[in-house]
Amino acid sequence: MKTTITSGYKTKLLGILLLAGVLVLFAVILLPLPDSTTTQQELVPDQPVRREGCTCQLDHNLPIVVIDTEGQDISTPPPYATIQNGEMALRVREKSEKFRVNLSIYEQDGYGYTCTCGVAQPTLTQSVLISLRGQSSLRMPKNQYTLNFVDEDGVEQPQSVLGMPSHDQWVLNGSYVDKSLVRNALAFDMAEQTMDYAPGYEYCEVLLNSSGGEFSFDRDYYGVYLMVEKIERGANRVDIDRSDPRVNDISFIIARDKVKVGDNILYTDWSALEDDFVIIGDTVRQRTVIVCSYPGSATLTEEYAERITGFLNDFEYALESAEFKDINDGYRGYIDVDSFIELAMINELFKNIDGGEISTYFYKDQGGKMNAGPLWDFDLTLGNTDTEEVNEPTGFRIINTIWFERLFQDPYFAKRYQSIYRFLRAGEWQTDELTQRVDGLVDELGPAIDRNLERWYTPEAIQQANVRTDAISRTEYDAEIEEIKLFLTERLDWMDDNLQIVQRIERNTID
């Protein structure tokens, strides 16, 4: 019988369908039934399926972190202290006390929701040290915490947390001033697309049990948090070598930040010439300083501090010199240019009021150049400030801050910025891609949004916390999400239209 092209196509198609059916059959046979050991990565049903004997709400969609303080009060801010920054006296908080607490993490599994009532077991149980973190955030009722995974002898006990690479240092970021809960996550996502390292994170809900008895979801609920990788040196974090005194160079992580008790401040020659105050809109605030994050206080010797300061002096003199644009004798011999551009772009796109001034990190590996990053602290962005000028989606900001103001006077730096920006705008930073990511974060938060609003932002909760902020309903929350997407859209349009003016006018130089 004559075989036609059509019948041959149908025969091949039938064979493919039969093969697919066999594979599906094997998959069904081999697929394990959900049980309490099913991991978060395995199949989750479209609708939650209640475990036998479980009394939890089925809308617990996020991992749940339970902190049992065994009756200890871990949330009272430390008292104020006065410290000296050069000739200036600063009033800041004392270092927070560390408390040993019991940490348990429950994760969603094959049943499609997170169970904490005892039917399912936690995926991680650990004794850890916990401490309050922040300065201005200590005035907020929803605290932020640092978690140290160490044993009773102070020996590090690295753990993988919520699927993130193993480490002993983690941060619970509460984002009280960002009622949307999406600003930090969006910034980390964009940094991950472009920069060598961005802190990993996972959303979770926290129960803080200070009663000393069994925890209760309703009584101990503390809201939605980001579990975030703390900025630290390490193979899975800022991947730089340990400083070696035998090597005539230095590895470091530094930050331009507000000074805190115990900080190791680095005074460069150029910093002595900076103004003590900066003006932002109608606000005058104190100039921040360069502090050393790595090496830490226990290992930062006088020799190490001198090496870091020496490198920064060399960089700043090259940056301020008449030859600053020279590829060999200028600043390019000291920094990874693209990392500075990527950090500047993300801060600029978010119109970060603190960008370049507060929580702005830099790091260097032995034998390498200084990189900008990782990103940190994007609560006060995308129109979420008390400064009207900064809440407008127009105007450049970070190009007027220390270091960056001079960098943008170099045509090479400005043109490289423009080139990388246009490349990203044609791809991962298309407006629709970013606004859809905002929607994706809201979907990920799911019903936890309403629980967080109920815990912190009702009129009653605000009155009880005695803070100055506005109550927010779910309708108003949804409106804020739309405002964030509108700000992003208008901001990107404005930057597209004004990209040519990022190059600054070159000012006088030093010899």
Same domain, 225 and 338: no
Domain limits for position 129:
64-173+198-229
Q: Determine, yes or no, domain membership for 381.
A: yes
Partner residues linked to 370 by β-bridges? 335, 364
Question: Do 222 and 359 lie in a common domain?
Answer: no
Assigned domain for 282 exists: yes
Do 268 and 398 share a domain, yes or no? yes
Nearest C-alpha neighbor of 275 from the set 353, 357, 343, 354: 357
Q: Is residue 448 part of a domain?
A: no
Give SS3 for 324. coil
Residue 474 within a domain:
no
Indicate if 217 and 93 belong to the same structural domain: yes
Closest by CA position to 206, among listed 215, 197, 214, 196: 215
Residue 105 lies in a domain: yes
Beta-carbon contacts of residue 114 (< 8 Å; ≥ 6 apart) = 56, 60, 61, 62, 63, 64, 106, 107, 108
Same-domain pairing of 109 and 202: yes
> Measured between alpha carbons, how far is 363 from 369 in angstroms, rounded to an integer?
9
Number of domains the chain contains: 2
Q: Do residue 262 and residue 133 come from a single domain?
A: no
> Tokens standing for 197?
């390292």
The helix/strand count (H/E) of the chain reads as 11, 18
pLDDT of the chain, 511 residues: tens digit per residue: 333 333 333 333 344 344 445 444 444 444 444 444 444 444 556 789 999 999 999 999 999 999 999 999 999 988 888 887 777 777 888 889 999 999 999 999 889 999 999 999 999 999 999 999 987 888 899 999 999 999 999 999 999 999 999 999 999 999 999 999 999 999 999 999 999 999 999 999 999 999 888 999 999 999 999 999 999 999 999 999 999 988 889 999 999 998 888 899 999 998 777 655 544 555 544 567 899 999 999 999 999 999 999 999 999 999 999 999 999 999 999 999 999 999 999 999 999 999 999 999 999 999 999 999 999 999 999 999 999 999 999 999 999 999 999 999 999 999 999 999 999 999 999 999 999 999 999 999 999 999 999 999 999 999 999 999 999 999 999 999 999 999 999 999 999 999 999 999 997 665 5
Q: Is residue 333 located within the same domain as residue 386?
A: yes
User: Do 222 and 298 lie in a common domain?
Assistant: no
Tell me whether residue 339 is in a domain: yes
3-state helix, strand, coil in the chain (%, to 5): 35, 20, 45
350 and 424 assigned to the same domain: yes
As a whole number, the mean pLDDT across the chain is 89
304/427 same-domain check? yes
- Do 258 and 374 share a domain, yes or no? yes
Domain contains 483: no
**Closest to 117 (Cα-Cα) out of 253, 215, 193, 8:** 215
User: Do 359 and 219 reside in the same domain of the chain?
Assistant: no
Q: For residue range 323-353, list pLDDT tens digits in order.
A: 999 999 999 999 999 999 999 999 999 999 9
pLDDT digits (tens, 9 = 90+) for 460-485: 999 999 999 999 999 999 999 999 99
Spell 307-340 as b/e; 16+ CB within 10 A means b: bbbebbbebbbbbbbeebbeeeebbbebbbbbbb
Which pair of tokens denotes residue 36?
């309490």
Q: Is residue 33 part of a domain?
A: no
